[in-house]
Amino acid sequence: DADVTQTPRNRITKTGKRIMLECSQTKGHDRMYWYRQDPGLGLRLIYYSFDVKDINKGEISDGYSVSRQAQAKFSLSLESAIPNQTALYFCATSRRGSYEQYFGPGTRLTVT
């Protein structure tokens, strides 16, 4: 089955550490997104990419960076993690021309 995968699934790290979350997809979709989810706040867009050379900031990009290594891979980095970046992080994909997004299983990140 065509799928969206995320690694790691769970991660505990300390304040100030650099951490990378990875997303891979076999759906053949051009567009990829990174969201974070916090209780009561819903999903908020961090970064999105419409193709390998097109990367855009979302509503909460401060403290994060991304890399689109290939059509199928989109990584999210926290350069210097802080406790309020503790959240559930989701990668999503969509086809060109479609608004329907499909989500990976999520990464639960805890920053102590």
Partner 1 sequence: QKEVEQNSGPLSVPEGAIASLNCTYSDRGSQSFFWYRQYSGKSPELIMFIYSNGDKEDGRFTAQLNKASQYVSLLIRDSQPSDSATYLCAVKANDYKLSFGAGTTVTVRA
Residue 73 or 95: the one with the smaller Cβ distance to partner 1 is 95
Site stretch for partner 1 (CB under 8 A), options 16-24, 69-77, 79-87, 100-108: 100-108
Residue 31 or 111: the one with the smaller Cβ distance to partner 1 is 31
Residue 31 binds partner 1, judged by CB under 8 A: yes
- Taking CB under 8 A as the criterion, which residues in 76-95 touch partner 1? 90, 94
Q: How far is the CB of 44 from partner 1 (least distance, A)?
A: 8
Burial of 57 (C-beta count, 10 Å sphere; 0-12/13-18/19+): middle
**How far apart (Å, rounded) are the C-alpha atoms in residues 85 and 81?**
7
The separation between CA 33 and the C-alpha centre of its own chain, rounded to angstroms, equals: 6
Interacting residue ranges for partner 1, rule: CB under 8 A: 31, 33, 35, 40-45, 48, 50, 56, 58, 90, 94, 98-106
